[in-house]
Amino acid sequence: MAPQGSAIAEMPAQPQTPAAAPAWPPNFSRNVQGTGLPGIDGGHVFLWNRPQGFDPVSTLRVDRHVPEGSGEATHTYKAIWALGSSGPNNAGYEWTITGELHNRALASTGAQNVAVNGTIFKEANGLGPVGPSWAGNFNCVDTTDEPDPVASCIGAEVDVSAQSPTTDRNRQRVGLQISTGGVPGAHTGYGILMGNLTGSVTDRGFSFQGEGTYGIGIDAAAGRFTGPAILLGSGQSIGLDGNRDGGFSRSLGFDGRDLVYGLGGAPVFRVSDTGQVEAASVREAMPRPPQSSSAPCNPGEHAWDAAYEYRCVAPNRWKRATLSDW
C-alpha cells in the first residue's frame, strides 16, 4: 500500500481494439448516393418476424423527421424509396413493393388486418394553411410515344377476388370504398373527382367491363342529396342503348332549351319548360270514350272511338265530333 500523501503513477490507457464491422453480403452496395447506380444493386433484404407470442414491434419501421427550417423548395424527402428497372427481354412481374398478409384472424369490430395501409394526418401548424396531402399517390406516366399503345398504363388497380362460390348476402367484398367526413358535420368537397387538363380526353369516366352480371349499375337510393342525384350540364345527355364499344343511337338529355329524346342524333320528342310537347307522331293506344257527356274529366282530356272524337271542355263536361270517311 502506498504511503499516505504520495503520488502514484498511473499506467497509460491501453487502446481499445475496435469491433469488426459486420460482413456485408457479396456485391451489396451500402451507399449508392452519387454513384449513378439505380438503387441498391445486388443486395437482398428479407425480414421475417414470427414470434411465439404477440409482438407489437414492427418488422421494419422507418422514422423520418425533417427538422424545422431545413427544407428546400422543390426538394423531396423519402422515408422509403423502392426503385426498380426492367428490360425489354425481361419476362416481367417485377414489383418494387409487395404487401402480402395471410389473414386467418377471427372477425371482430376492431379488426384492422391490412396488407398495405397509407395514412397521412393533416394537422394545423399554427402559421398558415397546411399543404396538400395524399394518403396514397400513384402515378403511371406513359413516355413511350407509341401512337396506339397495346399495354395498359394503370394508376391504381384494385382486384377483389371472390374464390368461394357461396352467396355473399352481406356484400362485404368491396372493390373500392370511399368513406369521407370523419366526424358528424364534417364537410368533404368531392367523394370522387375526375379532372382533365385542357386538351386531354378520358374515353370513359366510369366503365363496367367484362361479361359478368351487375346487380345495380349506379345506386343512389340510400343517399341524401342537397341537389340532384345526377347532374348534367347543358348539351349533355344519357345514352340509352350503348354497347361495350361505347356506341349508342338513342339518348335522353337537355339541349339548353328542351328535354330531348333523340334517335341517331336527331330529336324525336321534345318537352319545353312551358310544357309544350313536340313529337314526331302521337298514338293513343286505348280509346277510353266517356259513357256520357257528364262523365268525370278535367279540361283538356280527349278520347275517341270508331264514330266520335271526344274533348273535355270543362270539369265533367264532354263534347264530341262525328268522324266520317272521305
Q: Give the tens place of pLDDT for each residue, 182-238.
A: 888 889 889 999 999 999 999 899 998 877 888 899 999 999 999 999 999 999 999
pLDDT of amino acid 40 = 42
Look up cell 409487395; give the residue.
98
Share of the chain above pLDDT 90, in %: 44
pTM over 0.85: no
Instruction: Choose among 222, 160, 218: nearest CA to 192.
Output: 218
**pLDDT for residue 3 is more than 60:** no
pLDDT digits (tens, 9 = 90+) for 264-279: 989 999 999 999 999 9
Count of all residues that appear for the chain in the document: 326
Amino acid code (one letter) for 75: H
